[in-house]
Amino acid sequence: MTLAWILVPIAVLLGLLFARHAYWAWVAGGGLLLLGWGLSGSLSALAVGLPFAALALLFGRPELRRRWITPQLMPRVARLLPRLGETERIALEAGTVWWDRELFSGAPDWSVLFDFRIAELSESERAFLDGPVEELCQMLDDWDVSQAGDLPQSVWKFLRENRFFGMIIPEEHGGLGFSARAHSAVVQKISSRSITASVTAMVPNSLGPAELLLHYGTDTQREHYLPRLARGEEIPCFALTGPEAGSDAAATQSEGIVCRGTYEGREVLGMRLDWRKRYITLAPVATLIGLAFRLLDPERLLGGETDLGITCALIPADLPGIEIGARHDPMGIPFQNGPTVGRGVFVPLDFIIGGAERAGQGWRMLMQSLAAGRAISLPSLSVGGAKLATRVVSAYAMVREQFDTPIGRFEGVEEPLARMAGLTYLMDATRVLTAASVDAGEQPAVLSAIAKTYLTDALRQVTNDAMDVRAGAAIQRGPRNVLGRVYDAVPVGITVEGANILTRSMIIYGQGAIRCHPFALAEIEAVEADDLEGFDRAFFGHVAHTCSNAGRALLLGLSGGRLERGAPPGPARRYVQRLSRISAAFALISDACMVSLGGQLKRREMITGRLADALGWMYLASATLKRFVDAQTPPTDRALVRWACEHALARAEEALDGVLRNLPARPIAWLLRPLVFPLGRRERGPADAAISAVAAAVLDVPETRERLTSGIFIPPPDEVGLGRLEAALGKAIAALPVEAKLRAAVREGVLEHAPGEALASAALAAGVISGAEIEALHAADAAREEVIQVDAFAADDYRKLRR
CA torsion sign for 19, 20, 26, 29 is: positive
The predicted structure's pLDDT at residue 17: 43
CA torsion sign for 400, 403, 407, 409 is: positive
Strands 255-263 and 288-296: parallel
The predicted structure's pLDDT at residue 394: 98
**Which residue in 504, 252, 494, 208 sits closest to 370, CA to CA?**
208
What average pLDDT does the segment 709-725 reach? Answer: 97
* Chain segment 245-295, per-residue pLDDT in tens: 766 666 788 999 999 999 999 999 999 999 999 999 999 999 999 999 999
The predicted structure's pLDDT at residue 7: 44
What average pLDDT does the segment 606-626 reach? Answer: 97
DSSP string for residues in 347-369: EEGGGBTT-GGGTT-HHHHHHHH
pLDDT above 60 for 41: no
As a whole number, the mean pLDDT across the chain is 91
H or E segment at 165? none
The predicted structure's pLDDT at residue 598: 86
The predicted structure's pLDDT at residue 98: 95
d(CA 262, CA 299): 18
The predicted structure's pLDDT at residue 246: 64
What average pLDDT does the segment 168-191 reach? Answer: 97
Rounded to 10 degrees, the C-alpha dihedral 274/279/281/287 comes to: 20
pLDDT above 90 for 15: no
Between 52 and 438, where is the model more confident?
438
* Chain segment 394-440, per-residue pLDDT in tens: 999 999 989 878 999 999 999 999 999 999 999 999 999 999 999 99
Question: Please, which residues have CB within 8 angstroms of residue 667's CB and are 6 or more apart in sequence?
Answer: none
Q: How confident is the model at residue 14 (pLDDT cuts 50, 70, 90)?
A: very low
The predicted structure's pLDDT at residue 22: 46
Is 706 catalytic? The answer is: no
The predicted structure's pLDDT at residue 756: 82
- Contact (Cβ atoms closer than 8 angstroms) between residue 17 and residue 552: yes
Options 497, 523, 739, 773, the catalytic residue: 497
Q: How confident is the model at residue 43 (pLDDT cuts 50, 70, 90)?
A: low
The predicted structure's pLDDT at residue 252: 82
**Please, what's the b/e burial string for 415-452 (b: 16 or more CB within 10 A of its CB; e: otherwise)?**
bbbbbbbbbbbbbbbbbbbbbbbbbeebbbbbbbbbbb
What average pLDDT does the segment 540-562 reach? Answer: 92
The predicted structure's pLDDT at residue 481: 96
DSSP 8-class letter at 563: T
Q: How confident is the model at residue 369 (pLDDT cuts 50, 70, 90)?
A: confident
Can you give the pTM of this predicted structure? Answer: 0.93
- Contact (Cβ atoms closer than 8 angstroms) between residue 672 and residue 588: yes
Q: Give the bridge partners for 294, in sequence order.
A: 255, 310
What average pLDDT does the segment 142-160 reach? Answer: 97
d(CA 133, CA 469): 30
pLDDT above 60 for 35: no
> Three-state SS for 94?
coil
The predicted structure's pLDDT at residue 237: 97
pLDDT above 80 for 59: no
H or E segment at 323? strand 322-324
- Main-chain phi, psi angles of 106, to 5 degrees: 90, -15
Q: How confident is the model at residue 139 (pLDDT cuts 50, 70, 90)?
A: very high
% residues pLDDT > 70 (the chain) = 92
What average pLDDT does the segment 324-342 reach? Answer: 97
The predicted structure's pLDDT at residue 107: 96
* Chain segment 439-470, per-residue pLDDT in tens: 999 999 999 999 999 999 999 999 999 999 99
d(CA 553, CA 540): 19
- Contact (Cβ atoms closer than 8 angstroms) between residue 640 and residue 425: yes
The predicted structure's pLDDT at residue 11: 46
Angle formed by the axes of helices 605-630 and 573-597, to 10°? 160
pLDDT above 50 for 480: yes
> Three-state SS for 294?
strand
d(CA 152, CA 137): 13
d(CA 640, CA 647): 11
Among the listed ranges 36-40, 223-227, 514-518, 744-748, which one has the minimum average pLDDT value? 36-40
pLDDT above 80 for 88: no
